[in-house]
Amino acid sequence: MLLRSFSLFCAFSAFLQAEDIIGKIGSVELPTSEVQTLIASLKDTEEAPAELNPEALDQFVRALLVQRLVLQQAIAEKHDQKPNVSAQILRTRDAAIAESYLLSVSKAPAAYPTEKELAEAYEQNKGSFLVPKSWLLAQIFVSNPKESKAQDAEKRLDSIVKQLSEPSADFASIARVSSDDRNSSANGGELGWLQENLIQPAIRDTLPTLKLNQVSKPIRLDDGWHIIKILDVREANTPALDQVKPQLKARLRAQKAQENRQLFLSKLLEANPPAINGIELLKLKSTP
């Protein structure tokens, strides 16, 4: 009975240990706690996972496993002991320590910015939050690059225009059947919301002449003809402070951190001005 209990305990312990392993490749095992620590240390850096969702984390862990496998092989072949590699490791280590320290001394205070500072920054930068006029558009596209023959495309275009002129014409149905834009045709030609500054000039110039749900005449562009329908319009607007507060706060904290960094470096260099030996500097020219 005692032996059985001990066996169960060992099996349970092994299970717990296995549960702590988030991934394995070859003989390399990656503990979950190690990945958690790494993600925390990479926070707010370019190396951090773009989003903490299962797909992004899966890609992050897979990349880490491949890196560890390559590292294992490199160390087995004593690649890390080569003089140039050792020097590179030392440079990378020194740079990482210096950068980490700079980040720590430059960090904006936890209470920054205050509500008052946020409100002031919002008023001063209101123009940067302006959302341009946007259009919800649908299109029927007839492909015909200008260097190709237009006869067949023009016949198709004439047929589509004729269908659209019928009193009972259904733009979405015609788009599904006839539009050459695969991305939008399945959705009845709908393109989604587009800011006016992102719309092709020839199409953008036509929009003010159309009413809501009105269909344009064919518009010729380099890739073919575009028949546009306006589904909805949003006038240019400036979001309220509450709507942009998170991004404004992040922007101000980043600016403050950059200011703190420059101030710290200025004071450090003022107290410790660099001195370069010009004669020794010339010797670097002959470095192999």
pLDDT in tens, the chain (288 residues): 444 444 544 544 454 455 589 999 999 999 999 999 988 887 766 666 666 788 888 999 999 999 999 999 999 999 999 999 999 999 999 999 999 999 999 999 999 999 999 999 999 999 999 999 999 999 999 998 876 677 788 999 999 999 999 999 999 999 999 999 999 999 999 999 999 999 999 999 999 999 999 999 999 999 999 999 999 999 999 999 999 999 999 999 999 999 999 999 999 999 999 999 988 888 888 766
Judge contact between 124 and 252, C-beta under 8 A: no
What does the pLDDT read at residue 282?
87
Rounded to whole angstroms, the Cα distance separating 255 from 100 reads 18
Query: Nearest 10 degrees: CA dihedral of 69, 70, 72, 74?
Result: 170
Looking at the domain 131-234, which fold is it? Chitinase A; domain 3 (3.10.50)
- List CB contacts of 221: < 8 A, sequence separation 6 or more: 200, 202, 203
What type of residue is 203?
Answer: I
Rounded to whole angstroms, the Cα distance separating 82 from 253 reads 42
What does the pLDDT read at residue 146?
72
What does the pLDDT read at residue 48?
65
What does the pLDDT read at residue 160?
96
Own/partner pairs, 252-257, CB within 8 angstroms, 24+ separation: 252/108, 252/112, 252/113, 252/117, 252/118, 252/121, 253/108, 253/112, 253/113, 256/108, 256/112, 256/113, 257/103, 257/106, 257/107, 257/108
- List CB contacts of 181: < 8 A, sequence separation 6 or more: 139, 141, 189
What does the pLDDT read at residue 5?
46
End-to-end CA distance of the chain: 73
